[in-house]
A = this chain, B = another copy of it.
Amino acid sequence: MFKAEIKSDTLKGLVNIVSTLIDEVKLTIGPEGISLKAMDPARVAMVEVNIDSGAFESYSADETEIGLDLDKVKGVLKLASSGDIISMEQDENHGKLVFKVGNITRRMHLVDTSRMNDPRFPQLSLSSKINIPIEELQQGIRASESISDHIALTVNNQGFELSCEGDTDSASLMVSKDKLKSMELPEGNDAFKSMFPLDYFANLVKAIPSGTTVCIELDSDYPIKMNFEFADGNGKVSYLLAPRIESD
């Protein structure tokens, strides 16, 4: 059993966060909330989301799993204006999720979850950690476009740097320590630097709502972890992106 009401903006945020990596998602539903884990088809990036029932206008659920086609959910979102409430109710007999928006009823076929495995989310202990406004990452990505296919991220004593080296041109964005919301660097270490595929990094950053503070955990030639909250802290997201190892 699953029955809930949610603000269209909250559902839209969730769909944006997940659909940047996959087309179909398995939601693991319980009395306290919903969780999901997903990996992109090329196995370069992962996302883990936990949404507390407090993110919903109303919420009531037993333990269950549902598989959603995210393009169809986007179609439902187009029927709602900002501020509208969308209701969802599982129809277990017919394998459907029934959405209601205003006077519209949309019965959506659920995706078979039997072949959808939860990816194992690795427990990584990464050396440095910063908190940064998403707008700085967006600006760094804009500066890197059409210069190279990969972007280097560095944390050092000066702050955080996004940089991009092409054959003839280069671009970098330096966020000094005092512009970061916080920064943790282990004593005795001067810098951590990893390189990532620009398109993946850009897509993840684009999916993060503006105004968000992102917690970045970074090491040298290790995956990057980006954590942030949405829905007034009732939703927690972790992105993990594999590094592109430089072959000098």
- Interface residues of chain A, those whose CB is within 8 Å of chain B, are 72, 75, 78-79, 102-109, 139-140, 142-143, 145-146, 168-176, 179
Contacts and interface: CB of A to CB of B under 8 A. Distances in A.
A146 B103 contact: no
A39 B176 CA distance: 44
Count this chain's copies in the assembly: 3
Contact of A174 (B72, B79, B103, B106): B103
A234 to B, nearest CB: 28
B146 A104 contact: no
B168 A104 contact: no
A169 B105 contact: no
Contact of A170 (B78, B107, B175, B176): B107
A106 B170 CA distance: 6
Contacts of A103: 173-176, 179
Contact of A139 (B102, B142, B143, B174): B102
A104 B171 contact: yes
A143 B108 contact: no
Nearest to A106: B171
Contacts of A171: 104-107
A203 B69 CA distance: 28
A143 B106 contact: yes
B139 A172 contact: no
Nearest to A173: B104
Nearest to A101: B143
6 contacts: A72-B169, A75-B145, A79-B142, A103-B174, A104-B171, A107-B170
